[in-house]
Chain A
Amino acid sequence: MSTSTDSTADAAAMDPAVPVPDAAPQQPKQMLRERLAGLRGGDLGSLPVVVGLVVIVIVFQSLNSTFLNSFNLVNLCLQIAAVGIIATGVTLVLLLGEIDLSVGSVSGLAAAILAVLNVNEGYSPVVSLLAAALGGLVIGTIHGLVFTKLGVPSFIVTLAGLLVWQGAQLQVLGSQGTINLPPSGGLQQFGRFSYLADWQAYGLAVVLPVLFLAAKLATRTRRTRAGLPVGALWVPVAQALLLLAVLLAVVAKLSIDRGVPWIFVVFVAILSLIEYVLRRTRYGRAIFAVGGNIEAARRAGIKVDALRTSVFAIASMLAAVGGTVAAMRLGFANQSSGAADTLINAIAAAVIGGTSLFGGRSRMYSALLGALVIGAIANGLDLLNLSSALRYIITGTVLLLAVVIDALASRGRRSAGR
């Protein structure tokens, strides 16, 4: 019964590594037993991420008691929105079993396009944003076509892209180096100073669990009508209540300070849309199939080249959107927008959240979980006033750890015949 694409509680309860929208219902005991068997067989679920997040929170909170206060948590939400959106696109590419190394540069180029069009050329914020996103779409299409039509490995195409688009970013910025977005302009207002009103935030916290439950019950009704077995009714109800409790707690905590940032809502909305497409549509099913066995996908009539090109296009577009969100939050675009650790953070977030580098497997909402982990580490280290040197080392180590867990889990799956 892991129907829905809108609950991480749900993701923790079942194995969502593969899209199993109407999985055969199970009684709690059997569910638990299969869960344990799954753990032994290398199917770790979201467990490592959640445990990791708890450890990170405990460590940083004990080192600096401001870590968990509302002010800092609102900052965390602001900080992870951009990298989370970029990581969402990276998830799609990883699902194909490919990689996109250019997302950092593309996000930087998009920030530059946004700033130049809005500030220097005087276009409206909306037009500038659309142009930046469109730029990402075109760039990703180029990557995809070179990859599929010329047979150049995605690693090389996007590595070249990393350099090319960074160069394009410098070119677009020209001699100015840094372009500040006007503080009173719509872009910076949206990125830094827009928060959900209390009624909006609490409204969402109530409406989302209700929608979640409604979707579950609709699935249940369809299964009953189709003569398929359904699980205990209290399971989705309990999941919805848990989701409600979590959302209310988060909103209450964030409302003590400025509230829920709009850019965070944008991130979660984009991620939810992508999750829906991945797990509930033919297009998403085709992405999983190509990542699982490309020859099988081809023989099943899936247009593999077009699909892969479209995924690269979407990934680069999301990288561009993430870049514009970062620029709006920071209030400027400069030559180092999207540079440094943007790329590694985005890939780390996707992998830490539970997207396999080997293709075809991704947990629900992996970009959100991963971005939280990466964001929490960066944020906590900032609070401790540690050097960038140490921050890079720690973030790199966490990424390696996530990949090691992925590799070990994949080996466990093989030996357990999964």
Chain B
Amino acid sequence: MSADVLSTEPHTPPVGTTLLSLTGIQKRFGAVRALSDVDFEVRAGEVVALIGDNGAGKSTLVKVMSGAGPADEGSYRIEDREVSIHTPAAASAHGVATVFQDLAICDNLDVVANLFLGRELTRGVALDEAEMERRTVELLEQLSVKLPSVRIPMASLSGGQRQSVAIVRALLGSPKVVLLDEPTAALGVAQTAQVLNLVERLRERGLGVVLISHNMADVMAVADRAVVLRLGRVAGRFAMADVSREQLVATITGADTNVVSERAARVAGRSAATSAGTEGTQA
């Protein structure tokens, strides 16, 4: 690969430009409609949370965007150009980088080796370790990612540090949009904070970030907008400024129709005088 894999200049279309937009996405697995008529867009410099219950279609939608599982129908546009993305390679070529939940990190290799895996810099036949290390240190500094050393095996790092390295690695290809699949699922409180800080710095760099998460606290903390999927359809779109956690949860569970809310309503009715009527939706 060429020397530009780590362009340290943030690639920035002006904040607010639509970077990625999906319209009318359909995806079937046999008789099951995993996604029907889904519209989704990400703009430069914003974090969009993609939330929903298990089986709502989040993963399917991520696979559509990342090229791992292309849609059956619908249009996929990158910066207003219609593109056809059928492989992960095509997605990254169009500037869409994905950090999957399992991180895909080699524990026996050090941080530098993992960042540059598959796109090592060379001088002649030999690896250019000094240059790769310099760029690693530079990029980690820009993103304020703190590691004990860039030359220790990944296995010695904490979960948050590993997640951060995986995200930083996604940035090496100078993407416009970064998809993060449950980045905080396995992390403790402090480590989650590290990763959320990093997500905010990606936004500051003008990237569009899609955050797939189960964790309402994380979503409330960093996202600018949330798109809620339920049963393969978009059940709601919210600006985080004017939505409550309860509203989000209600939309995720389908509060008006499902058994959780029916029960909540029944309980609320029975103890009418004192109930605030909201616990049920949080169950």
Which A residues are closer than 8 A to B by beta carbons?
17-24, 219, 222-223, 225-228, 280-282, 285-286, 288-289, 291-293, 295-297, 299-302, 360-361, 413, 417-418
CA distance in complex: A360, B107 (Å): 9
- B123 — nearest CB in chain A belongs to which residue? A222
- Contact yes or no, B107 A293, CB < 8 A: yes
- A356 — nearest CB in chain B belongs to which residue? B108
- Contact yes or no, A361 B108, CB < 8 A: yes
> A280-B127, A281-B127 are known contacts. Are A227 and B134 too (CB-CB below 8 A)?
yes
The residue that B149 contacts in the complex, of A24, A222, A360, A361, with Cβ under 8 A, is A24
B94-131 Cβ-contact flags toward A at 8 Å (1 or 0): 00000000111111111001100111101001110111
Q: Which A residues touch B129, using CB under 8 A?
A: 21-22, 219
- Contact yes or no, B130 A302, CB < 8 A: no
The residue that B133 contacts in the complex, of A225, A226, A288, with Cβ under 8 A, is A226
- Contact yes or no, A293 B153, CB < 8 A: no
- Contact yes or no, B151 A20, CB < 8 A: yes
CA distance in complex: A296, B115 (Å): 11
> A291-B108, A295-B104 are known contacts. Are A301 and B119 too (CB-CB below 8 A)?
yes
Task: Give residues of chain B (147-171) contacting chain A, Cβ–Cβ below 8 Å.
Answer: 149-151, 153, 155-156
- Contact yes or no, B118 A302, CB < 8 A: yes
Task: Give residues of chain B (63-119) contacting chain A, Cβ–Cβ below 8 Å.
Answer: 88-89, 102-110, 113-114, 117-119
- Contact yes or no, A297 B134, CB < 8 A: no
- A220 — nearest CB in chain B belongs to which residue? B130
Which B residues are closer than 8 A to A by beta carbons?
88-89, 102-110, 113-114, 117-120, 122, 125-127, 129-131, 133-134, 137, 149-151, 153, 155-156
> A281-B127, A296-B104, A299-B104 are known contacts. Are A18 and B119 too (CB-CB below 8 A)?
no
Q: Which B residues touch A296, using CB under 8 A?
A: 103-106, 114, 117
> A282-B127, A292-B107 are known contacts. Are A19 and B119 too (CB-CB below 8 A)?
no
CA distance in complex: A227, B130 (Å): 9
- A361 — nearest CB in chain B belongs to which residue? B108
- Contact yes or no, B117 A297, CB < 8 A: yes
Max chain A CB contacts within 10 Å: which of B108, B127, B130?
A: B108
CA distance in complex: A301, B169 (Å): 14
- Which 10 pairs from chain A and chain B are nearest by CB? A300-B118, A292-B106, A292-B108, A296-B104, A22-B129, A360-B108, A226-B134, A301-B118, A300-B117, A222-B130
Would you give 9 A-B contacts (Cβ < 8 Å), ordered by A? A18-B113, A19-B113, A219-B129, A228-B130, A228-B133, A281-B122, A289-B109, A300-B117, A302-B118
- Contact yes or no, A285 B127, CB < 8 A: yes
Q: Which B residues touch A219, using CB under 8 A?
A: 129-130
- Contact yes or no, B155 A288, CB < 8 A: no
Q: Which A residues touch B133, using CB under 8 A?
A: 22, 223, 226, 228
Q: Which A residues touch B113, using CB under 8 A?
A: 18-19, 285, 288-289
Distance of B127 from chain A, by nearest CB (Å):
6
The residue that B106 contacts in the complex, of A21, A288, A301, with Cβ under 8 A, is A288
Distance of B197 from chain A, by nearest CB (Å):
23
> A219-B130, A226-B134 are known contacts. Are A360 and B151 too (CB-CB below 8 A)?
no
CA distance in complex: A360, B150 (Å): 19
Q: Which A residues touch B134, using CB under 8 A?
A: 226-228
- B153 — nearest CB in chain A belongs to which residue? A18
CA distance in complex: A299, B107 (Å): 15
- A291 — nearest CB in chain B belongs to which residue? B108
- Contact yes or no, B155 A417, CB < 8 A: yes
CA distance in complex: A21, B113 (Å): 10
CA distance in complex: A411, B271 (Å): 56
Q: Which A residues touch B153, using CB under 8 A?
A: 18, 418
- A300 — nearest CB in chain B belongs to which residue? B118
- Contact yes or no, A285 B126, CB < 8 A: no
Q: Which B residues touch A299, using CB under 8 A?
A: 88, 104
- A359 — nearest CB in chain B belongs to which residue? B108
- Contact yes or no, B149 A226, CB < 8 A: no
CA distance in complex: A219, B133 (Å): 12
The residue that A282 contacts in the complex, of B122, B137, B155, with Cβ under 8 A, is B122
> A226-B133, A296-B104, A301-B118 are known contacts. Are A21 and B109 too (CB-CB below 8 A)?
no
- Contact yes or no, B117 A285, CB < 8 A: yes
